[in-house]
Chain A
Amino acid sequence: MIEKTFDAIIIGAGAAGMAAASGISRGGFSTAIVEREDHIGGILMQCIHNGFGLTYFKKELTGPEYAEEYVLERLDDNIKIYLDTTAVDIKTEGDCKRVITYSASDGIMALKARAVVLAMGCRERNRGNLGIPGTRPAGIFTAGLAQRLLNIDGYVPGKKVVIIGSGDIGLIMARRLSWTGSKVLAVVEIQPHPSGLPRNIAQCLDDFDIPLYLSHTVTRINGRNRVSSVEVSPMENGEPDCSRSFTLDCDTILLSVGLVPENEFSRKAGVGISHDTGGAVIDADMMTNIDGVFACGNVLHVHDLVDYVTAESETCGRNVVNYLHGKINKETQGAVVPGANLKYVVPNKYQPERENHFYMRPLILRDSAVIEAKAGGKTIFKQKLKYVKPAEMISLKIPAANCLGIPLGEKIEIGLIEEK
């Protein structure tokens, strides 16, 4: 078995992995990335639509362009990238972590490092997670899988499509399929408002006259070998009212019903996972409960903008550099908890006396609101925000000056207050 030692190993070469690796390598440390696909860039490579990089590169790019731009500007040649290589296990051995990988070309390898960065991204929720009744015919895809099959391999998933879920992935695929000559019959959304951005409702549904059924759900899938139709029912008091259901004849169903951070590997390492994010519980340096194991990107919490993934993961890279220099201080950190109207806040700890950068997801939809951080009963930071919605993650920096003087170990509570 091949054994190799690095200072840091990153699992995943998508947006997060590349960003973390870039900072660690530039910090002068030997860095390896383990990537199971035959290319780097992760899901960016199948997101052929526009809208990436507005914040980070100050221009509007498609997913593949963002990936290439980042590689060109930030990745150096010293980073060892193992493609077609899957990390299957991780064990702590004293100071080091031992990552076992499988690949056709290298066989089984044991890669050792003092620092490991988890950057594996997400999986999609599927029909099994929803438990939609009916038969089990061919023609049911998660939206991301359909996107991959269509945009990379060139397979059109079907001709008459119903999309379940109005998140941005489903909306983008509605347009993509329409532009491929398929007919998208409807988007069915269980909530009373769409999950995706209004601009995507406009350019992906309205542009093609695709109906959006809010407060509806698919209550049955029909078809023997292939999907033949779906039964759609309106929601009434939180339950589908099947007495008012209608049928849509279709041959394909796309599911755009949520992403789940992919943490099977993390669990093997004994990493503690948060119930609110589906990702690791992390401290102020983005380290998990396992010393030297960090997490960033979609595997930590599901993002909307790749620009934020890059920013978060570059920070993680800087933290790993500090860790490898022995400059991490855990004792002075205090807990961070979500308060009013927030689903979660990451990281789960702060470091007093330095700037702290938090990401959080709102539970409310408002034209304006106020984010407020409190510690020890006092407000330490307040900021007005515009256009707050669950579909958009909030990125919040609390300046070092505001983090001074907090009693040691005191927790910070961050809440989103509605304005009167």
Chain B
Amino acid sequence: MKKEIICIVCPVGCHLLVGQDRNKELTVSGNKCPRGEVYGKDEILNPQRTVTAVAKINSLKIGFVPVKTDKPIPKALTNKLLSEIYRKKVELPVKRGEYLMENFAGTGANVIFTRTVEE
């Protein structure tokens, strides 16, 4: 098994080659830093993504408040998360860093507000 992927951890975007050694352990090459090795393995075993979106808020100035997951979540859960976020109706005021959702689907990731909205 050999897979070519681009690492998305930083703007360099190393071209990674993920393979298997004789003991069926995953090997990663092409990474220019240790984070790339972690990403390469995760991408095969358990691909994850940080998700950013917006949620409806009852502000007079802006229609939607931006949110993000405070750590990556399994890629397969992205659409489920987005559907839940889009159903929310947030009430003023909100502070950057506060939770919109806590421990989404048992992943340990929270959805936090990335903008303070007071009016």
Min CB distance, A124 to chain B, in Å? 21
Any B CB within 8 A of the CB of A152: yes
Min CB distance, A70 to chain B, in Å? 12
Q: In the complex, which residue of chain B has the Cβ closest to the Cβ of A69?
A: B96
Q: How far is the CA of A206 from the CA of B9 in the complex (A)?
A: 15
Taking residues whose C-beta sits less than 8 angstroms from the other chain, chain A's interface range is: 20 to 34
For B11, list chain A residues within 8 Å (CB): 51, 54, 197, 199, 392
Q: Which of B15, B61, B68 has the most CB of A within 10 A?
A: B68
Tell me the count of chain B residues lying within 8 A, CB to CB, of chain A.
30
Provided the pairs A48-B52, A198-B13, A387-B12 are in contact, do residues A62 and B66 lie with their beta carbons within 8 angstroms? yes
Q: How far is the CA of A202 from the CA of B13 in the complex (A)?
A: 9
Tell me the chain A residues, 100-151 only, with Cβ under 8 Å from chain B.
150-151
Q: In the complex, which residue of chain A has the Cβ closest to the Cβ of B69?
A: A50
For A392, list chain B residues within 8 Å (CB): 11
Contact A201 B82 (CB under 8 A): no
Contact A202 B8 (CB under 8 A): yes
Q: In the complex, which residue of chain B has the Cβ closest to the Cβ of A387?
A: B12
Any A CB within 8 A of the CB of B62: yes
For A201-213 the 0/1 string (1 means CB < 8 A from B) is: 1110011000000
Min CB distance, B51 to chain A, in Å? 7
Contact A65 B7 (CB under 8 A): no
Q: How far is the CA of A151 from the CA of B50 in the complex (A)?
A: 17
For B15, list chain A residues within 8 Å (CB): 198
- With beta carbons under 8 angstroms apart, the residue of A39, A51, A68, A207 that contacts B49 is A207
Contact A48 B8 (CB under 8 A): no
Any B CB within 8 A of the CB of A187: no
Any A CB within 8 A of the CB of B90: no
Provided the pairs A62-B68, A62-B114 are in contact, do residues A54 and B10 lie with their beta carbons within 8 angstroms? yes
Any B CB within 8 A of the CB of A74: no
Any B CB within 8 A of the CB of A91: no
Min CB distance, B33 to chain A, in Å? 12
For A4, list chain B residues within 8 Å (CB): none
Contact B63 A203 (CB under 8 A): no
- With beta carbons under 8 angstroms apart, the residue of B13, B75, B114 that contacts A197 is B13
For A50, list chain B residues within 8 Å (CB): 50, 52, 68
Q: How far is the CA of A65 from the CA of B96 in the complex (A)?
A: 7
Min CB distance, B58 to chain A, in Å? 12
Q: In the complex, which residue of chain A has the Cβ closest to the Cβ of B81?
A: A179
Tell me the chain A residues, 342-364 only, with Cβ under 8 Å from chain B.
none
Tell me the chain A residues, 250-275 only, with Cβ under 8 Å from chain B.
none
For A297-323 the 0/1 string (1 means CB < 8 A from B) is: 000000000000000000000000000
Any B CB within 8 A of the CB of A45: yes
Min CB distance, A366 to chain B, in Å? 14
Any B CB within 8 A of the CB of A17: no
Tell me the chain A residues, 55-86 only, with Cβ under 8 Å from chain B.
61-62, 64-65, 68
Any A CB within 8 A of the CB of B64: yes
Q: How far is the CA of A51 from the CA of B6 in the complex (A)?
A: 16
Q: How far is the CA of A40 from the CA of B45 in the complex (A)?
A: 42
Contact B53 A154 (CB under 8 A): no
Contact A199 B52 (CB under 8 A): no
Provided the pairs A45-B115, A202-B5 are in contact, do residues A154 and B12 lie with their beta carbons within 8 angstroms? no
Min CB distance, B67 to chain A, in Å? 8
- Which 5 A-B residue pairs are closest in the complex by CB-CB distance? A198-B13, A48-B66, A202-B6, A64-B115, A199-B13
A interface residues (Cβ-Cβ under 8 A, vs B): 38-39, 45, 48-51, 54, 61-62, 64-65, 68, 150-154, 179, 197-199, 201-203, 206-207, 387, 392
B interface residues (Cβ-Cβ under 8 A, vs A): 5-13, 15, 49-54, 56, 61-64, 66, 68, 75, 78, 82, 96, 114-116
Could you give 15 example pairs across A and B, Cβ below 8 Å? A39-B61, A48-B68, A48-B114, A61-B114, A65-B114, A65-B115, A152-B64, A153-B63, A153-B64, A197-B13, A199-B8, A199-B10, A199-B12, A199-B13, A203-B49
